[in-house]
Amino acid sequence: MAPIGGRRRQRTGAIQLGLAWVSGQALQEEENNGFVGVTRAKDFSAAEYWFRLAAASGFAPAQYRLGLLYWEGFGAFRSAREAARNFRLAADQGHARAQYSLAVLYKDGEGVMPDDVQAYMWWNLVTVAPLSTDSIRDAAEHSIENIGKRMEPVQRAEANRLAREWTHDHGIEGTESRDMDLTSNAVIKTNVEAAGRAQSGVLPNLKSSAEQGQAEAQFVLGSMYAAGTIVDRNHIEAVQWLRLSAEQGYAQSFFPLLNAYLEGNGVPQDYVSAHLWFNIAAARLTGDDRAVAVEQRDLVQGLVNSNQVAEAQRLAREWNGASQR
């Protein structure tokens, strides 16, 4: 087992690599200068991989970053539900920014049912989190004041009670800046190298899980082939694994797979198959995810004739029927 300090470096290095892919800045090693930023194309699939790698160990900063990736909707990754899930995982560890973001989702009803009591509670916790920054604490206090105006006294009392219970039950300090030195060149070099060593053993286990039929592993492996992360980029392999995952109903595979058909990456361009998976996504997803699927399906519908639309709808009905047996 790696020493605690080593695990922290590995996880923080994974976050740094993820941020590099989001920003379009490669981390390239140069003699005597450590790691420097080099402009390159953004790749949100690769960013998701690195954030997920660190988040899988329960690392709150990585869970928060993964939540942001889904919340801000980069590429085909818009999923308020996944954003809320990851924010909650980090918030339950005392991560102040995740607590603040989770409160916003509760206020707006994105990815969760709207709940002013929960929003008030999480913002309340931000104000007392040991590692909250002044700016986020001030923002939370302002939000509490605004949402409090529309709440009944009994609701505010309940939110305060829940906040006290959470503080008592968890008894943990915030994790806002723990393990997160992203500025020191020497620290970046150490962390990125540690992350690279950590992921070297990931691929065999991931492939084994995917071959055993685990839908999430198939999705991650397909995303890696699509992005060229750890493995050589191979769109044919990417589509094969994404299709296996999607055929099991794994929702995150729907958009990457249908985009492959739209663009002809790894498969011949096929608007009927793209329309098919848009139909499946529209039937299986909810909220913002479903709205995106419906909107884009309607755009694709203009690229095919009425017979092709009918065929795609028929195949989607058959797929949904078979998957529910």
> What is 207-275 written as a DSSP string?
HHHHHTT-HHHHHHHHHHHHHTSSSPP-HHHHHHHHHHHHTTT-GGGHHHHHHHHHHTSSS---HHHHH
Q: What is the pLDDT of residue 69?
A: 83
Q: What is the pLDDT of residue 100?
A: 93
* CA–CA dist 196, 271 (Å, integer): 39
Identify the residue whose tokens are 């992350």. 195
Nearest to 174 by CA among 122, 214, 212: 122
Sequence-distant (≥ 6) Cβ neighbours of residue 203 within 8 angstroms: 230, 231
Q: How many alpha carbons lie under 13 Å from residue 271 in its C-beta half-sphere?
A: 15
- CATH class of segment(s) 201-323: mainly alpha
Sequence-distant (≥ 6) Cβ neighbours of residue 242 within 8 angstroms: 218, 219, 222, 223, 226, 253, 256, 257, 260
Identify the residue whose tokens are 């999705």. 219
**For the range 202-205, what are the long-range contacts, defined as Cβ-Cβ under 8 Å and sequence gap of 24 or more?**
202/53, 202/230, 203/230, 203/231
Q: Encoding tokens for residue 121? A: 């509670």
Q: What is the pLDDT of residue 208?
A: 85
Q: Encoding tokens for residue 130? A: 């040991």
Low-confidence ranges of the chain (pLDDT < 70): 1-44, 74-77, 171-203, 227-230, 320-325
Kindly report the pTM of this predicted structure: 0.54
* CA–CA dist 185, 201 (Å, integer): 26
Looking at the domain that runs over 4-189, which CATH code has it been given? 1.25.40.10
C-alpha distances (whole Å) from 186 to each of 6, 7, 9, 29, 234 are 15, 17, 12, 11, 33
Q: What is the pLDDT of residue 206?
A: 75
Nearest to 27 by CA among 194, 235, 222: 194
Identify the residue whose tokens are 């096929």. 270
| Domain positions in the chain | 4-189, 201-323
What is the H or E stretch that residue 25 is in?
strand 25-30
Q: Encoding tokens for residue 149? A: 């105006």
Instruction: For residue 167, count other CB atoms closer than 10 A to its CB.
Output: 15
Domains 4-189 and 201-323 share a fold: yes
Q: Encoding tokens for residue 20? A: 């590099």
Q: What is the pLDDT of residue 149?
A: 86
